[in-house]
Amino acid sequence: MSKDAIVLLKEDHQEVRKQFRAFRKQGQTPVQKQGIVDTILELLTVHTYIENEVMYPRVRQLLPDLEDDVLESYEEHHVADVLCMELAAMDATDERFDAKTTVLMENVEHHIEEEEQEWFPKVREGLGRNQLQELGEELLEAKKRAPRRPEQPSAMKKAIDAVVS
């Protein structure tokens, strides 16, 4: 049996939170921090891609009452995308690396909290089990083609489309 879209997205959120906890541990060397942030950037790039390309457009189409929620999510993704692009160009020894990573984590944690506490319950209520499972399949397919780094062209297109669409 396939997983539904919300279950898949929550699993992504758990993995991102795990990396955030790893970054916050005391005593990390710059090399360790760089590795953790590289993992965070990959996870977020893939996750925002599949939400922007599949989840948000489909929910927007199927549940027009959630339009404002979707638009806010696009904007939150845009902020995260900008921070990810900046972090991708930085080194862990940069004096602003930790601060920028912290700001990214705070923004993403806020976004995850809103999605899981407010948006996902509305989506689950509005869509049937079959629709959520179909969306889950679409998300899995999108994950296969998703960019892995914020500076990849398809990731940059995603960020631009979120702003101008």
Q: What percent of the chain shows pLDDT beyond 70? A: 90
Q: Coil, strand, or helix at residue 32?
A: helix
Say which DSSP state 65 is in. Answer: G
The more confident residue out of 14 and 154 is 14
> Which tens digit of pLDDT belongs to each residue from 45-92?
999 999 999 999 999 999 999 999 999 999 999 899 999 999 999 999
Side chain identity at residue 111, one-letter code = H
> Which tens digit of pLDDT belongs to each residue from 106-157?
999 999 999 999 999 999 999 989 999 999 999 999 999 999 888 766 665 5
Cα dihedral: 39, 73, 163, 106 (round 10): -50
Q: Enter the pTM of the model.
A: 0.91
pLDDT value of position 151: 74
Side chain identity at residue 143, one-letter code = K
